[in-house]
Structure 1
Amino acid sequence: MGDVRSLPVPDGLEGERLDAALARLFGFSRTRAAELITSGDVQLDGATAAKSDRVHAGAWLEVVIPPPPAAPVPVAEPVPGMRVLYEDDDIVVVDKPIGVAAHPTVGWTGPTVVGGLLGAGHRVATSGAAERQGIVHRLDANTTGVMVVAKSEVAYSRLKRAFKERTVDKRYHALVQGHPDPLRGTVDAPIDRHPSGDGRFAVVAGGKPSVTHYDTVEAFRAASLLDVKLETGRTHQIRVHMAATRHPCVGDLMYGADPRLAARLGVTRQWLHAASLSFDHPVTGELVTFTSDHPDDLATALERVRAES
């Protein structure tokens, strides 16, 4: 049994749909609100309500909020194809393959970087939430490339601070549809969860400040290869910002990419790769740089788009 919250519907929500009102009152996504209503955990004036019911100011709302699901723990097993680029007592740098999440999350049953490192006998820092051991930044499951994980507690706290203070140089390569205009520029637009609650993110007024710098490296007939420098590190940031400029990453169907172009180039995910990472080593203070080549699927797509041009 979760917490029961009882309150009158505020005047400002008069006439709203129940799912929208719940989302605004409690900060749920619309999807989450609809699930609670469907499972009978929401009552309006003592009666079970439907998600499309309109609420009236002063109506008595009772909501049973279930306890949060238990945090998943990493499964310690080696991850095929995950290479260690560098390791010392404080950090381990990996070249993350496709289909691997940074750490376990609710609903993710695939391999993780943390689990892969533990499974291969590497130690990782235990600071932070149990399921995020050593994780100081993340890549999407289907974004490949360079990722650093903290092994010592001092490395964890210093790297967390370096990412927060934006002193880490994060470079990505992105193959995007069309030709950005200007060829070199900055996208400075706030990002937050997409109002649909479907797992996407979007440029949203009042979202978290997000800044992406890009530079066209090579222009093709159908697409452009960009060198991208992230100033902030929001979830899906490059994907959202490029989609917002009408130049989504090739293959990124979640953010409006053309499925025919993706099929023609043989891409089954967003064409996005974390190509390099530079930072001051958290213990020695020395500037270190790690790089990763394009994996086979992205390299093949790049050859095809080049050949077409």
Structure 2
Amino acid sequence: MSQWPIPDEQTASVEPVSADGQLVSEAEYWQDWYNTGDLSYEWNNGRLEEKPVSDFETFQVYLWFLELLRHYLRLQPIGKLVALEMGFRLALRSGTVIRKPDLAVVLDTNPVALDLTHSSYHGVFDLCVEALSTEKPAYVHRDLVVKKAEYAAGGVPEYYVLHREHGNLAFYGRTRGSSVYSPLPTEGSGDDRLVRSRILPGFQFRVSDLIRRPDLDAIRRDPVYSSFVLPEWTRAEQEQVQAEQARLQAEQAQAQAEQARLRAERTQAQAEQARLQAEHDRDKASRERDKLSRERDEALAEARREVAARAALEAELASLRNRSS
């Protein structure tokens, strides 16, 4: 039998009760509601606003974008990423709000440094990112309209809204001297257009990539991202390819040198054969000349012998004629 207590049905189905819309003072918010465990709340001029949870696919968009920002700031350490429900206070003409962006960046040039021991930020973020929840129209309105106006009026230089659908993606920036947002400049058209940050030099991304979310190996090879996503991997890979090419070229050069050596050896062997053949031909010609000379000498000697024999015979005949007469 199990030794663990079995909760009754009523206890198992208890869910935290939302305090969305409840009126509390700012002091009460910071003390009792800022770090509540079950539900997360922002504070809008005296009223609690429950922070909604995005769907899983939008969360994947958020993670992909977070990874892109992490790679950028690793290579260009000009600021720090902030997440984990860290809030900041905006004193606006319409009232004070405390917002907890899903993701934020504090640049090193920000006049208010990020205190590593604080659970809230006492300045104004340089970039705020919200992962949009479309569960209720009010959530969509809050991120795309209300927070857009608040962040712009509060001095947040750039504001991005992420979502799994193209139509709910938004990327805003404040121009110098303006307290309202306008869409960040893009390059190209359609969903493949490039968005470029003004406050993060060189940081850019394709809108369509937020939906497709190509893997790390693909984006590091993509010219859009290759300058800040693991360029050292790409350099090492290129160096390895170059080293392999150099090795192959060295082997090819060695093979060519070996072929040249073999050709030289063949040429030398042919020359040696030609020399030996010439010597053989000379020796043969010399032997033939010697043979001809011997045959000529023998013929001359034989002719001399014949002449001498005839002369001796003629002398003997002449002697015989003299004696008979």
TM-score range, shorter chain: under 0.3
TM-score by length of 2: 0.22
Higher helix share: 2
Structure with higher Rg: it is: 2
User: More relative contact order in 1 or in 2 (CA 8 Å, sep 6+)?
Assistant: 1
TM-score by length of 1: 0.23
Higher strand share: 1
